[in-house]
Chains A and B, each alone.
Chain A
């Protein structure tokens, strides 16, 4: 060991590491996506049609959007449970401003800024005051949902022009693919590049694994976390606007419970709830898997309660599975002891 100072040949390793992210959990989740498409196409009537593909993809949009910042936040070891409430809050603000007669080009930026501010409140409490994000965002989950009802009460604003609401459903030619999935996928690519190919992305992994070591390496941990929550809030606002226009209705209970699906998809995508571990392609696969399962079961007339149970079950499974593998390994090594 002493004499070996020359670096070893590295040919085989490079090839292995380039595809390394496709091993293990990622490979399993992608296989699960393909398998569920296959099984659903055979077993469920109407699943394999352009029309249904369109529905499926358009339903994926809000979850995919929210999953992007959520991935970064969970990677740093934090969590944002308030995203669906921010979306609902912004939906109501959007409706109120619309019925107040403001034009869309004023409303949309205002809503995005308000979403960012809502996220900044989370960020301030977590990074400046150092409070646990789990507690902070459970608090703001209730707070922003309450604000949503303060803005619109139990009313709904539905006076949106059909041109806009049906425009959101536009398809690319006859393929059934919705037009608006394209910018969302582009945004996913942007997030993927930021996470995996920038200095900022590197710092997120370091923070997630060891906040201490990250600080000692000159990474501004608090500032980084703050901005993640701001981005999360802004994207939640975007989802709030999307939700309002897609369903043509601004209501206080819009997007209720959506955070559960988002977190389930992110964890299913292989992101560790303890931080540090995960990647964006996996998360996209996780979002897809959840969307396909829900869509197929809905077509098969499975009731909504059961779907909710499925989401919850998958969330737990996603947290348990990586640990279960470890347990299984150590249990195999260790015979019964008294």
Chain B
């Protein structure tokens, strides 16, 4: 790993000075405003051949805008984009693609009914006689791509049901087939499990060896430091620092990102633990989860860990009543809860902050206030009538309590950063005054500053007697926050660990299945 840093010849901390090896792609002094909001004000970035650059920054720092500028989705107001040292401007995504820039998004969009090979070569399928698609050749080309990447995916299977990790690999294969020289990965690991992350990294290193420049965006520092040669830090839309990863520490990077020291990432307070608030008895759903029993007490944070696909979110959704279950029962404060009825769960004092913020947590087309008060519709009604004014007032109140940064209650929710969106989802449930809060991935895709805020908030709530069931794919979060840790593996509970028993090793052992620790999910 070490020699990868040094063969960049000069290790300079300023990208403007690094003109000895001409970067494949360079951005200089990019400015971009949306109305009054200045998303970018002086962003610099240079991507070198065969090197991985990690772009880090809090949510709202302008990373996504920068990526969209690179992808040709936005046009900068000011500044220069240099491709191989020559100035270019991308007016649309097609031009960026032709210039060899490929973007892999967190959740790729694929044609679910087409095969993997068809997805890769969509719109440019190899043609045989009479302009018919040469399926054999297409298949062979797909296999070749996967071999180059060192992964095994059946090119003939349909894209439907492909895991997110596999979808990303397919997108990468597509990028290679397009001769992409610059690969941008926007939080690719947010939805991946440990094994999948490792495979993605292996693929990335293959690309690196082939001479591609890789831009990697992530909120997980262990990944950033494991993968990146260079780290570029952005803050408030501007470039703050670019340095070789080897010369930086996590603390330094965090300090540069937030412009201050973050005291503690996981400030779990000790709380008095009360009686049983939520009891789940022998809950089963065929083929999804089996015989799940656990309790959560008032004032307690119970972490639910496991690999992606272990059935954690499915259990949470069944408890809340969004999904059905075949057997077992759910008790709230010793009273059985009606299955398959989120409104009954709400009335009983259960809240669910779902896994997918954009699809399940929020109505993206509605403004902030309508989203935050969606669960409070009845509570805010006077004589059956509901006014914008009462919704806005409640929204301002919660925005203040949770420090949600939004222009106004009427701002479209889509204009908020991921962290602030997540706070709106939290607010929407906290405002219902729940006794039990299930939080699925509380900090997915959220910057460090907001992350610790969310953690402090959850911890405070538990301190006030709220029972919290927290699902998380981030081990440090589980270990730092939980009073008790439950671990699921392939639809079954495999461990229940006290705070003192729970370590990275014990949790990971249970999460990967005790009997067969080497078992890998089938591609």
**A interface list, Cβ under 8 A from B:** 1-2, 4-5, 7-8, 10, 13, 17, 193, 197-203, 205-206, 209-210, 212-220, 276-277, 333-335, 337
Contact = CB atoms under 8 A, between A and B. Distances in A.
A322 B359 CA distance: 24
Contact of A7 (B94, B370, B387, B399): B399
8 nearest CB pairs, A to B: A199-B377, A218-B346, A209-B365, A218-B342, A216-B360, A218-B343, A217-B374, A213-B363
B410 A276 contact: no
A210 B357 CA distance: 12
B6 interface: no
B167 to A, nearest CB: 20
B94 A337 contact: yes
A213 B410 contact: no
21 contacts: A1-B237, A2-B259, A7-B399, A7-B408, A198-B386, A202-B386, A205-B363, A206-B370, A209-B365, A209-B366, A210-B363, A210-B365, A214-B374, A216-B352, A216-B361, A217-B374, A217-B375, A218-B346, A219-B342, A219-B343, A276-B365
B322 A197 contact: no
B161 interface: no
B205 to A, nearest CB: 35
A220 B340 CA distance: 10
Contacts of B410: 13, 17
Given A213-B359, A337-B92, A206 B381 contact: no
Contact of B405 (A5, A10, A201, A216): A5
A276 B58 CA distance: 32
Contact of A17 (B343, B381, B388): B388
Interface string B303-330: 0000000000000000010100000000
Interface string B408-448: 10100000000000000000100000000000000000000
A197 B380 CA distance: 11
A335 B363 contact: no
A5 B420 CA distance: 12
Given A202-B374, A213-B360, A7 B396 contact: yes
Contacts of B365: 209-210, 276-277
B362 A213 contact: yes
Interface size bucket, B side?
Answer: 35 or more
Contacts of B403: 5
A2 B449 contact: yes
Looking at chain B's contact residues, is the secondary structure mostly helix, strand, loop, or mixed? loop
A7 B392 CA distance: 12
Contacts of A216: 320, 322, 342, 352, 354, 360-361
A219 B407 CA distance: 27
Contacts of A7: 396, 399-400, 408
B363 A4 contact: no
Nearest to B259: A2
A214 B407 CA distance: 24
Nearest to B260: A2
B9 interface: no
Given A2-B449, A8-B407, A337-B92, A218 B375 contact: yes
Contacts of A214: 363, 374
Nearest to B375: A217
Contacts of B360: 212-213, 216
Given A1-B60, A218-B346, A219-B343, A213 B91 contact: no
Nearest to B391: A202
B399 A213 contact: no
B141 interface: no
From B370, B377, B384, B388, residue with most partner A Cβ within 10 Å: B377
A334 B92 contact: yes
A337 B375 CA distance: 47
B408 A8 contact: yes
A203 B363 CA distance: 11
Contacts of A215: 322, 342
A4 B405 contact: yes
B381 A199 contact: yes
Contacts of A333: 91
A205 B384 contact: no
B257 to A, nearest CB: 10
